[in-house]
């Protein structure tokens, strides 16, 4: 019988004691006379890191599960200040590895990718920025706290941000507009606070970059994301392909939606409402959804069956929205328990199934690779590759969607695939926004908003904000947590989406071959770079000329073949 999550014991890591022991082992590593001795000591260093990492992630889960829990709120504050010190310890280890006289033999033992990651990590850290990193973490927590504490009064009821969302999908257009305005009014009221946080973030990150010897934060952001085989110029070329090939298709889909809904103009509050008969909604209670997910993963493969049984038996999923819970969804990994954890906020929309399959893709990957690799760096790949697992899992589970949507399944396929296409322009707009912001750190909040609004006109030309001056002024980006908490983590979704589209296409032609490559990709974890993992999975690089065009043609044909007027 597996241990259950609520029995996992949390103990605040004693960072001074860990640091002392770490430095002692590190000196032994540096003074070791053989590669065998260095490997034994490296194993001890790995164990010390695992203890800290496990407790940090356990704290993060319990803090986001209940923001009002004062104990874990205090522990979260402790980690905000401790993480930079922990990062310093890791970087000391990386530096010693890179300077080891036995480096070549160590590379053979651990794999070359670890040394690539070590070099990138050292580019992002110096003891002189410890205080700035603590400030950055505190600002990130402050933004999350604002959203987590949202309590929106709407027509006699109180909602958090996730709880209000189903009303934004109402069949009543007036209700959609009122609910959306209520949500954005929350952001209007918090605008000064949010813009001040972000202004401080940009300036803090710029100081970090300058302290490290860089012109601005862009290069630091790329190194933090551990990007070793592509650069901003390649990303800019990818955005260009999205602009030229995908924006027209996405715009055409919005126009089809406008006609379907019988509207003279599709406004911002209509975008997520796809059909006059309503968006597809999952059938059953959360418990029934989980039972159907268990059946789905049992039938998909023996590996996914074992994985999902483990997740259920160990109670490693917190899925339903409730008051005091942080918004959003994520998957993390508790190394010492060899346990992935899935966090989401079910609210009765089709997004419940998207987030379940998406985060299960992450969890299946780390469950697969976590059992193979000792080094923490190899449990997860870089996020660009990690999102391939999650987005592809959304498509590999299509044959079981009838369990969740019944007679609305075809409708779900249409909005899931179409929505994935429509996401891409938004995703690259977020990326371009961040490049502009960090290349121009002295911009005022109003200038940043203007940048966003101009990018919307390029990438989301359909978007209309009548009657909402806040959004018309370009403040939509202020709801996007990644921009605040994970700078430059957004192009990853778009690159991975192109790879996931390839798996969608291959799965339709030959499931056995596509699934075999997917499992191999999951098992490889973070042991290779993004483009190496793409090659391992027999996928085309999203940066390759013609790749975007090749996937989009088949998708356009599929979507054109659907008579959406009947929905």
List pLDDT tens digits, range 528-558. 999 999 999 999 999 998 999 999 999 999 9
Percent of the chain residues topping a pLDDT of 90: 93
DSSP for residue 31? H
By C-alpha distance, which of 493, 289, 465 is closest to 386?
493
Rounded CA-CA distance 511/505 in Å is: 10
In a domain, 79, yes or no: yes
In a domain, 34, yes or no: yes
Tokens of 189: 């009221």
In a domain, 11, yes or no: yes
By C-alpha distance, which of 41, 42, 36, 32 is closest to 118?
42
pLDDT tens sequence across 401-451: 999 999 999 999 999 999 999 999 999 999 999 999 999 999 999 999 999
Percent of the chain residues topping a pLDDT of 70: 100
In a domain, 66, yes or no: yes
Consecutive H or E run containing 331: strand 330-334
Using CA atoms, how far residue 8 sits from 3, 64, 314, in Å, is 8, 16, 10
pLDDT tens sequence across 73-95: 999 999 989 998 999 999 999 99
pTM reported for the whole predicted model: 0.92
**272: helix, strand or coil:** coil
Residue 1 has pLDDT above 80, yes or no: no
The four Cα atoms 246, 248, 250, 253 give a dihedral, to 10 degrees, of -140
* Backbone torsions φ then ψ of 523, nearest 5 degrees: -65, -25
Rounded CA-CA distance 531/11 in Å is: 39
In a domain, 90, yes or no: yes
pLDDT at site 327: 87
Rounded CA-CA distance 474/287 in Å is: 40
DSSP for residue 567? -
Range of the domain at 91: 5-117
Residue 22 has pLDDT above 80, yes or no: yes
In a domain, 96, yes or no: yes
Asked if residues 391 and 493 have their Cβ atoms less than 8 Å apart, the reply is yes
| E strand spans, 82-211 | 152-154, 157-159
Per DSSP bridges, beta strands 157-159 and 152-154 are antiparallel
The overall average pLDDT reported for the chain is 95
In a domain, 380, yes or no: no
| Angle (nearest 5°) at CA 204 between 202 and 210 | 100
Partners of 241 in beta bridges: none
By C-alpha distance, which of 135, 167, 176 is closest to 268?
176
How many residues are listed for the chain in this entry? 567
Rounded CA-CA distance 58/225 in Å is: 23
For the segment 324-337, the average pLDDT, to the nearest whole number, is: 93
Scanning the structure block, which residue is given the tokens 């770490």? 22
Rounded CA-CA distance 25/27 in Å is: 5
How many structural domains does the chain have?
Answer: 1
pLDDT at site 467: 93
pLDDT tens sequence across 338-394: 999 999 999 899 999 999 999 999 999 999 999 899 889 999 999 999 999 999 999
Residue 5 has pLDDT above 90, yes or no: yes
- C-beta contacts of 542-545 below 8 A and 24+ residues apart: 542/238, 542/494, 542/495, 542/498, 542/499, 543/230, 543/234, 543/237, 543/238
Phi-psi region of 276 (alpha: psi -120 to 50; beta: other; left: phi over 0): alpha
Tokens of 547: 């790749």
pLDDT at site 324: 87
Residue 207 has pLDDT above 80, yes or no: yes
In a domain, 57, yes or no: yes
Asked if residues 166 and 348 have their Cβ atoms less than 8 Å apart, the reply is yes
pLDDT at site 374: 86
Question: For the sheet containing 330-334, what is the strand order?
Answer: 317-320, 339-346, 330-334
pLDDT at site 2: 79
Asked if residues 539 and 503 have their Cβ atoms less than 8 Å apart, the reply is yes
pLDDT at site 162: 86
Number of helices and strands (H, E) in the chain?
A: 24, 5
Rounded CA-CA distance 358/95 in Å is: 36
Half-sphere exposure of 78 (CA within 13 A, CB side): 18
pLDDT at site 323: 87
Residue 299 has pLDDT above 70, yes or no: yes
């Amino acid at each position: 019988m597996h241990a259950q999550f609520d029995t996992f014991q949390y103990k605040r890591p004693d960072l001074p004691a860990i640091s002392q022991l770490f430095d002692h082992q590190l000196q032994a590593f540096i003074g070791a006379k053989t590669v065998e001795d260095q490997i034994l000591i490296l194993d001890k260093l790995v164990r010390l890191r695992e203890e800290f990492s496990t407790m940090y992630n356990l704290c993060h889960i319990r803090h986001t599960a209940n923001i009002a829990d004062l104990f874990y709120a205090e522990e979260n504050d402790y980690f905000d200040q401790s993480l930079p010190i922990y990062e310093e310890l890791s970087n000391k280890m990386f530096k010693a590895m890179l300077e080891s006289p036995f480096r070549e033999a160590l590379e053979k033992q651990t794999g070359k990718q670890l040394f690539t990651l070590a070099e990138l990590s050292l580019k992002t850290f110096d003891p002189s920025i410890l205080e700035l990193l603590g400030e950055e973490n505190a600002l990130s927590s402050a933004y999350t706290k604002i959203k987590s504490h949202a309590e929106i009064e709407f027509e006699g009821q109180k909602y958090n941000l996730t709880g209000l969302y189903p009303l934004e999908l109402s069949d009543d257009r007036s209700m959609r507009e009122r609910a959306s305005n209520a949500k954005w009014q929350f952001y209007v009221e918090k605008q000064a606070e949010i813009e001040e946080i972000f202004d401080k973030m940009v300036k803090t990150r710029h100081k970090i970059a300058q302290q490290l010897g860089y012109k601005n934060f862009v290069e630091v952001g790329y190194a933090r994301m551990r990007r070793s085989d592509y650069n901003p110029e390649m990303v800019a070329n990818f955005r260009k392909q999205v602009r030229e090939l995908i924006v027209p298709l996405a715009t055409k889909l919005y126009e089809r939606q406008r006609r379907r809904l019988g509207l003279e103009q599709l406004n911002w509050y209509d975008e997520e409402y796809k059909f006059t008969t309503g968006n597809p909604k999952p059938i059953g209670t959360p418990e029934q959804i989980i039972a159907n997910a268990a059946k789905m993963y049992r039938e998909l493969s023996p590996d996914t069956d074992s994985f999902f049984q483990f997740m259920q038996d160990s109670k490693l999923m917190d899925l339903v929205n409730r008051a005091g819970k942080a918004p959003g969804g994520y998957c993390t990994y508790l190394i010492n328990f060899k346990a992935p954890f899935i966090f989401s906020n079910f609210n009765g929309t089709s997004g419940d199934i998207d987030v379940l399959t998406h985060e299960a893709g992450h969890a299946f990957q780390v469950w697969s690779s976590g059992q193979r690799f000792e080094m923490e760096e190899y449990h997860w790949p870089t996020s660009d590759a990690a999102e391939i697992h999650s987005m592809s899992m959304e498509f590999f589970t299509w044959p079981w969607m009838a369990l969740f949507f019944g007679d609305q399944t075809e409708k779900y396929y249409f909005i899931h695939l179409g929505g994935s296409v429509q996401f891409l322009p938004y995703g690259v707009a977020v990326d371009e926004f961040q490049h502009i912001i960090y290349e121009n750190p002295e911009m005022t909040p109003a200038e940043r908003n203007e940048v966003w609004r101009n990018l919307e006109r390029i990438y989301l030309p359909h978007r209309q904000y009548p009657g909402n001056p806040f959004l018309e002024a370009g403040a939509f980006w202020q709801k996007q947590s990644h921009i605040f908490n994970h700078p430059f983590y957004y192009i990853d979704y778009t690159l991975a989406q192109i790879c996931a589209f390839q798996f969608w296409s291959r799965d339709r032609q030959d499931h056995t071959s596509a699934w075999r490559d997917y499992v191999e990709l999951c098992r490889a974890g973070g042991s290779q770079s993004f483009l190496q993992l793409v090659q391992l999975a027999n996928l085309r690089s999203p940066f390759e000329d013609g790749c975007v065009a090749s996937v989009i043609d088949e998708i356009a044909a599929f979507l054109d073949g659907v008579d959406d007027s009947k929905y």
